[in-house]
Amino acid sequence: MATNRTFTMIKPDAVENGHIGAILEKITAAGFKIVAMKYTQLSKRDAEEFYAIHSERPFFGELVEFMTRGPIVAAILEKGNAVEDFRTLIGATNPEEAAEGTIRKLYATSIGENAVHGSDSDENAVIEGAFHFSGREIF
Q: At what angle do helices 122-132 and 82-90 cross, to 10 degrees?
A: 80
Name the residue nearer to ligand UDP (CB basis): 62 or 137: 62
- Cα angle value 122/65/109 (rounded, 5°): 75
Of the candidate residues 93, 97, 123, 127, the single one contacting ligand UDP (CB under 6 A): 93
Q: How far is the CB of 81 from ligand UDP (least distance, A)?
A: 17
Among positions 5, 19, 117, 132, the unique one binding ligand UDP when judged by CB under 6 A: 117
Contact between 88 and ligand UDP (CB under 6 A)?
A: no
Which sign does the torsion angle of CA 92, 101, 127, 11 carry?
positive
What one-character DSSP code corresponds to residue 56? T
Judged by the rule CB under 6 A, the positions of this chain that interact with ligand UDP are: 54, 59, 63, 93, 111-112, 114, 117, 120
